[in-house]
Structure 1
């Protein structure tokens, strides 16, 4: 998965100026929507080919859930949305040229839901791959990470997704798994496997971009050994548990697997030298029923709004929004939905008056659209949140609260609705237990969203709920890339532990006192 921070948007005039230099206008493409039971695919590719991909993706989902032991997983209210671009040029239009050079697919979770993005045509030259592999890889991330706080080591997260991506369906009702991913084989041949200890300790943050293909390839080889040969699948659960508790990834591998690192290293090197990997076949679950995806061409207005929404939600290539808006204005394709997307952009940047003017221009008959309702609620909340407490308008806050109640009642599966409701209730001075009920609902739906987890952790810390706090704070530590915030959560964990273990209390107090003295000295300076 690609780790990134949502960039700030530029104002509308800058959108228009940046559009002048755009080389490829996404609004000129013909876009389709392919719907199956569990997926919604938005694509400018060949709709018949994408329909075939949707069928395969439904088969893959049935098998993967069975293999992962999650066949009873909760059904999502929303289908997973996948943006499937026809070629590298369109893909670059959505993610930017730099990221398009580094990736063929992306997966992300947000408080507004999860999505996947895939380049159907691969990269240029010899590195083109089957689009099905991209989709299977990204959907594996969704199955692994959706609505849970478990973190997997980088090598396994990408290696397992690569392993699963090679699933094929050679005959009706059967699948085959374990083939060598062609691109990863090329990486291993041209660059050699990553040293085992380095691979085990690799993270998204500490691995340079040019080394990440080696993590994917070497991680695939180690994951293949783990799943197909090691006999340590059950012990792997203990390894992941130790990893999530902060254990050293090398030492915990040897202790939980009951093996010597040298032995694993020897087999790891041997697999590369031999180049032979076992495959397995099986039966697609009997309860699976083949699907007949529906295909529709999106109207130009609808397509532009859909693409614009992705650009704002993802933040990968915000400059593309300018060309979309310019194209829509020039061709009479502005719509209530696209105006809402633009207002969303202005709200995120802090241009509240501009956002308000945009929403006011939406015809009354179109204001019942859910996207309008969502942007309107967040505009009101964001304005109040950025107003000093004593100057906040309680009547406006009550209206905001009621707007989020409406959103929750009509779409209870989206975390951001619950989060907005919790924020408005807190600003209206509701008792802690009341707004925390809403915050917990947001957390349950998006436990990996740092801003939600941080707020819940702080509330639990204030309540001195040590057990619940630890359940939220421990995985949060693995999401934080800000060192100061990371250390703060660690100290809070230690403090809560000290309250239950008096013998630790003196050491914690000493650490806190030292930090307080240091802070005072800095303030005096």
Structure 2
């Protein structure tokens, strides 16, 4: 009886804590599975099916227009559909301008959107939000070139307004009426600033103008007919190392005239195109109701992964796991929150305690599900990083790490994070990665090219083997990230310095050989 009373106390405590800790709670969550995405929603399952079907049609449009397809083994992206834009904003720390976002991540990229309908034609609607964010994901997976911030956002806005009329087919090029204020009323941002900066910055009004103007410029150069070929010239210049301002000047000519042409284009009759819908053999989305434990976990998973607040999720997840001791999913979510919170903790004692709790939780997961791929992976990663930290090169200990990763790879040969960690292990051991590790990294990049850590590692691996042309091409896209370009610029500069040193070493070596003769 005492055990029963203790279990009841845990359940009651969990209920009290869960009542106010997370930014969103739901009675029931549903999941729609497709080949390329898994969509979650706490709304009506019929509405979820409709939205998932529309997302499938949108994906078919992207493949039809841009002749690009995902690697068939690419892990599906998780898409979370929240009740309203306000829910998204709260999760993101109260940013009133955030209706959705796309987050590339080593754990698996996610999209956050909402199912709130527009109250009028000038409101941002659910379809446009989802299409915009999915376009970002599509570009990083399928387009090999680097694109400047203005085009990345402008292209996403161009495709955000794709429509599927009742008479069939699809339409591309309609204006985003929700950008009307940014297009006509906001304080202008100079065209030299839009074209010359690597990321988007400014206050809400300036950002609205940047988004609107970026859409207009993209529409004029991609859909319009008067400046044909200029966009291709511009992108070729950027992707061969020309700086943003110079590339714009060379491709578009007088930028003041370009600005005037944009104003004229905005006031004219905008073109849009209608196309036949491509044939599709995609199966209907499979809709399933999440069980009670999974429903409890989702708010805290989002708190950690979307809200970047793992620390606040640790104790609620611990209570959920304790209340559901046979749930591998609950113990795994707790382990992830504790591990991420440990990485972020500044106090050494708290950091050590959280890491131990995470390790114990992973052991619980593996006792319940010995083939749990991600539990095997994260246990291997934690052990490898600990051995690296204490400088332990004991072959037996590193063999244990390798065994865990081999088991994870056997469970899912196409998990990009497992492949990436196999490559990382050699760096943590301070050893040169062998060819099979380099091949694993290359495959990880094929499967998850949107993940910055994998892209950067692959770029540096190519550079260390004197393939600087491809190394720079791999890294260049993150130097134009609309929201975090500076990190990418730093990586790009490091690669260029590395190339200069290597060129000088070759020059010095050649000079030495000539002197010897």
Q: C-alpha distance in 2, partners of 1:172/1:360? A: 56
Structure 1 unaligned residues grouped into runs of 5+: 1-15, 506-525
Aligned residue number for residue 493 of structure 1: 499
Alpha-carbon deviation of 1:226? 1.3
The answer (yes or no) to whether the contact 1:167–1:175 under 8 Å persists in 2 is: yes
Residue 275 of structure 2 is aligned to residue 282 of structure 1: yes
Aligned residue number for residue 377 of structure 1: 380
Q: Deviations over 1:164-223 (max 9, x none)?
A: 111111135311222221221122233154332222123326545652222111111111
Structure 2 length as normaliser, TM-score? 0.81
Residue 237 of structure 2 is aligned to residue 242 of structure 1: yes
Q: C-alpha distance in 1, partners of 2:191/2:330? A: 49
Q: C-alpha distance in 1, partners of 2:475/2:39? A: 35
Structure 2 unaligned residues grouped into runs of 5+: 1-13, 344-353, 512-517
The correspondence of residues 50-61 of structure 1 with structure 2, limited to 5 A, is 50-61=48-59
For residue 359 of structure 1, the aligned residue among 341, 362, 366 is: 362
The answer (yes or no) to whether the contact 2:122–2:178 under 8 Å persists in 1 is: yes
Q: C-alpha distance in 2, partners of 1:447/1:295? A: 28
> Cα–Cα, structure 1 residues 212 and 245, in superposed 2: closer, same or farther, change >3 Å?
farther
Residue 430 of structure 2 is aligned to residue 438 of structure 1: no
The answer (yes or no) to whether the contact 2:38–2:79 under 8 Å persists in 1 is: yes
Q: C-alpha distance in 2, partners of 1:37/1:410? A: 19
The answer (yes or no) to whether the contact 2:93–2:307 under 8 Å persists in 1 is: no
Look up the SS of the partner of 1:102 in the other structure.
coil
Alpha-carbon deviation of 1:375? 2.8
Look up the SS of the partner of 2:376 in the other structure.
helix
Alpha-carbon deviation of 1:127? 6.9
Alpha-carbon deviation of 1:254? 4.1
> Cα–Cα, structure 1 residues 73 and 367, in superposed 2: closer, same or farther, change >3 Å?
closer
Alpha-carbon deviation of 1:488? 3.2
> Cα–Cα, structure 1 residues 97 and 262, in superposed 2: closer, same or farther, change >3 Å?
closer
The answer (yes or no) to whether the contact 2:332–2:375 under 8 Å persists in 1 is: yes
Look up the SS of the partner of 2:390 in the other structure.
coil
Look up the SS of the partner of 1:96 in the other structure.
coil
> Cα–Cα, structure 1 residues 191 and 474, in superposed 2: closer, same or farther, change >3 Å?
closer
Aligned residue number for residue 78 of structure 1: 75
Aligned residue number for residue 521 of structure 1: none
For residue 216 of structure 2, the aligned residue among 212, 216, 221 is: 221
Q: Greater shift after overlay, 55-64 or 314-323?
A: 314-323
RMSD of aligned alpha carbons: 3.6
Q: Greater shift after overlay, 473-482 or 155-164?
A: 473-482
The answer (yes or no) to whether the contact 2:297–2:333 under 8 Å persists in 1 is: yes
Look up the SS of the partner of 1:441 in the other structure.
helix
Aligned residue number for residue 196 of structure 2: 201
Q: Deviations over 1:441-490 (max 9, x none)?
A: 33333445444444444444444444454444555655662576554333
Residue 98 of structure 2 is aligned to residue 103 of structure 1: yes
The correspondence of residues 461-476 of structure 1 with structure 2, limited to 5 A, is 461-472=463-474, 474-475=476-477
The correspondence of residues 449-488 of structure 1 with structure 2, limited to 5 A, is 449-472=451-474, 474-475=476-477, 481-482=486-487, 487-488=493-494
> Cα–Cα, structure 1 residues 476 and 145, in superposed 2: closer, same or farther, change >3 Å?
closer
The answer (yes or no) to whether the contact 2:314–2:338 under 8 Å persists in 1 is: no
Residue 327 of structure 2 is aligned to residue 335 of structure 1: yes
For residue 389 of structure 2, the aligned residue among 382, 386, 389 is: 386
Aligned residue number for residue 141 of structure 2: 146
Q: Deviations over 1:216-245 (max 9, x none)?
A: 111111111112213545442331232234
The answer (yes or no) to whether the contact 2:71–2:447 under 8 Å persists in 1 is: no
For residue 299 of structure 1, the aligned residue among 278, 291, 298 is: 291
Q: C-alpha distance in 2, partners of 1:465/1:194? A: 39
The answer (yes or no) to whether the contact 1:377–1:400 under 8 Å persists in 2 is: yes
Q: C-alpha distance in 2, partners of 1:63/1:248? A: 33
> Cα–Cα, structure 1 residues 337 and 475, in superposed 2: closer, same or farther, change >3 Å?
same
Q: C-alpha distance in 2, partners of 1:66/1:233? A: 21
The answer (yes or no) to whether the contact 2:310–2:337 under 8 Å persists in 1 is: no
Alpha-carbon deviation of 1:357? 2.1
Look up the SS of the partner of 1:118 in the other structure.
strand
Q: Greater shift after overlay, 221-230 or 148-157?
A: 148-157
Q: C-alpha distance in 2, partners of 1:412/1:421? A: 12
> Cα–Cα, structure 1 residues 239 and 475, in superposed 2: closer, same or farther, change >3 Å?
same
Q: Greater shift after overlay, 129-138 or 452-461?
A: 452-461
Q: C-alpha distance in 2, partners of 1:232/1:121? A: 38
> Cα–Cα, structure 1 residues 179 and 323, in superposed 2: closer, same or farther, change >3 Å?
farther
Q: C-alpha distance in 2, partners of 1:268/1:197? A: 13
> Cα–Cα, structure 1 residues 409 and 148, in superposed 2: closer, same or farther, change >3 Å?
farther
